[in-house]
Amino acid sequence: MGLSFSSDDVSQKANGFPPDKSSGSKKQKQYQRIRKEKPQQHNFTHRLLAAALKSHSGNISCMDFSSNGKYLATCADDRTIRIWSTKDFLQREHRSMRANVELDHATLVRFSPDCRAFIVWLANGDTLRVFKMTKREDGGYTFTATPEDFPKKHKAPVIDIGIANTGKFIMTASSDTTVLIWSLKGQVLSTINTNQMNNTHAAVSPCGRFVASCGFTPDVKVWEVCFGKKGEFQEVVRAFELKGHSAAVRSFAFSNDSRRMASVSKDGTWKLWDTDVEYKKQQDPYLLRTGRFEEAVGAAPCRLALSPDAQVLALASGSSIHLYNTRRGEKEECFERVHGECITDLSFDITGRFLASCGDRAVRLFHNTPGHRAMVEEMQGHLKRASNDSTRQRLQQKLTQAQETLKSLGALKK
């Protein structure tokens, strides 16, 4: 089941690459026949496009970066999950390992906190499956599905899954109002009714304490999943809500430290929140910024990603992506018709250097220029206040690095 790394070039035909010219006219005719049957790969070019990952032969529905930053997992309706090495992103060849899903396909994928396993949601099986990743002597991995899938508990299609970075629980959310909290062994610890008419998005916070959901109502609801001193599950309690939108919330995201959240609504706005509050003392999250995003009003699917440092907000509507600076609320970049289909997932890598998107058979990676610009601004501010030489030196180093990156991307002045 486990294959070692294979480069894109191996499956030339599947990826719409032209075959080797030396292979003779017979092969070319055969290739032309194949071309008619297969839909043509969507072409997209942009000066900030860092890479396109092409190995899937079906549309990609979900992706996840591992917490150690080494891998990106993608799942598609071609019955495979692919694990990509992030260190190859800027190389000419992008190696990926393949895990096969027997007689089914995965719609959602999430790495375990220790990066030694991943979980997927099965389209036809309507259940969770766990795959263990075992490193082989040749450096590759073997992927083994655990003997038993999780029991079927949801009555409506599942739209999101997540694993707490503490390793204490798994979350699944369906399109009715149900969010389930599971033990890693597949027991339901708690059932949450979100009372939001229907769920459109749900997530586990990066700190592993919270579960949040949004839906038909104009708020984002956040719960804390509580465990005892010995690690035993206790209860799920309401923590806080993000209130302020005037229509349904389409999507939301956490920053890497879980102290910031961003939301986008059908009311045509996005909001950035300070959620580092003592909710047990009835303290509400603070609204930090509101920006316009008219595209969220329409019916096209809407996705949102917040950079790890919360400096950049990425919003996708249909097949286009818009990047905002959260400090000023200004739109800085726009990428149009990125995929041949609607964007199904959007995510920053853990360093914040890249933004990844998927929707058709490719993952597209963009340089996060607004992130580098925010770094320049921040370092210039710190330098003015720096009191000693070693601090000044360190700040200057970071500033120069960000400026050099922007210069190399032709994006220094905006």
pLDDT tens digits, one per residue of 287-299: 999 999 999 998 8
Residues 66 and 135 in one domain: yes
- The verdict on residue 279 lying in a domain is yes
Residues 378 and 240 in one domain: no
CATH, residue 224: 2.130.10.10
- The verdict on residue 3 lying in a domain is no
With residues binned 3-state (H G I as helix, E B as strand, rest as coil), the percentages for the chain, rounded to 5, are: 15, 40, 40
Residues 54 and 109 in one domain: yes
Mean pLDDT of 257-263: 96
What is the domain range of residue 395? 368-413
Mean pLDDT of 51-67: 96
Tens of pLDDT along 27-54?
444 444 444 445 567 788 898 999 999 9
Residues 352 and 386 in one domain: no
Residues 376 and 254 in one domain: no
CB-based burial of residue 189 (10 Å sphere; 0-12 exposed, 13-18 middle, 19+ buried)? Answer: middle
Tens of pLDDT along 80-136?
999 999 999 999 899 899 999 999 999 999 999 999 999 999 999 999 999 999 999
CA distance 126 to 152: 7
- The verdict on residue 118 lying in a domain is yes
Strand order in the sheet with 219-227: 199-204, 210-215, 219-227, 233-243
Summary mean pLDDT of the chain: 89
Task: Give the SS3 label for residue 382.
Answer: helix
> Which of 94-108, 198-212, 304-318, 397-411 has the least mean pLDDT?
397-411
Instruction: Find out whether 249 and 200 touch, Cβ atoms under 8 Å.
Output: yes
Amino acid at 357: S
Task: Look up residue 90 and give its two tokens.
Answer: 């800027």
pLDDT band at residue 258 under the 50/70/90 scheme: very high
> Which of 20-34, 155-169, 345-359 has the least mean pLDDT?
20-34
Q: Domain end: 338, 363, 388, which one?
A: 363
Residues 55 and 68 in one domain: yes
Q: Domain end: 325, 342, 363, which one?
A: 363
The partner residues of 211 in beta bridges, in order of sequence, read 204, 223
Q: Domain end: 326, 343, 363, which one?
A: 363
- The verdict on residue 127 lying in a domain is yes
Residues 329 and 393 in one domain: no
Residues 248 and 389 in one domain: no
Q: How many domains does the chain have?
A: 2
Tens of pLDDT along 160-170?
999 999 999 99
| 157-to-140, 178, 193, 266 alpha-carbon distances in Å | 34, 10, 15, 22
Which pLDDT does position 24 carry in this prediction? 45
- The verdict on residue 268 lying in a domain is yes
DSSP state of 6: B
Residues 359 and 372 in one domain: no
Instruction: Find out whether 306 and 316 touch, Cβ atoms under 8 Å.
Output: no
- The verdict on residue 197 lying in a domain is yes
Tens of pLDDT along 159-208?
999 999 999 999 999 999 999 999 999 999 999 999 988 999 999 999 99
- The verdict on residue 8 lying in a domain is no
Residues 231 and 304 in one domain: yes
Which pLDDT does position 413 carry in this prediction? 60
CB-based burial of residue 306 (10 Å sphere; 0-12 exposed, 13-18 middle, 19+ buried)? Answer: buried
Give yes or no for residue 21 having a pLDDT over 90: no
* Residues 203-242: b if buried by 16+ CB within 10 A, e if exposed: bbbbebbbbbbbbbbbbbbbbbbebeeeeebeebeebbeb
* Residues 139-150: b if buried by 16+ CB within 10 A, e if exposed: eebebebeeebb
Mean pLDDT of 331-358: 95
Q: Which helix H or strand E contains 213, and what residues bound it?
A: strand 210-215
Residues 205 and 58 in one domain: yes
Residues 148 and 81 in one domain: yes
pTM summary value: 0.87
71, 89, 90: which is closest to 81 by C-alpha?
A: 71
| 286-to-212, 223, 269, 289, 327 alpha-carbon distances in Å | 17, 17, 16, 9, 14
- The verdict on residue 13 lying in a domain is no
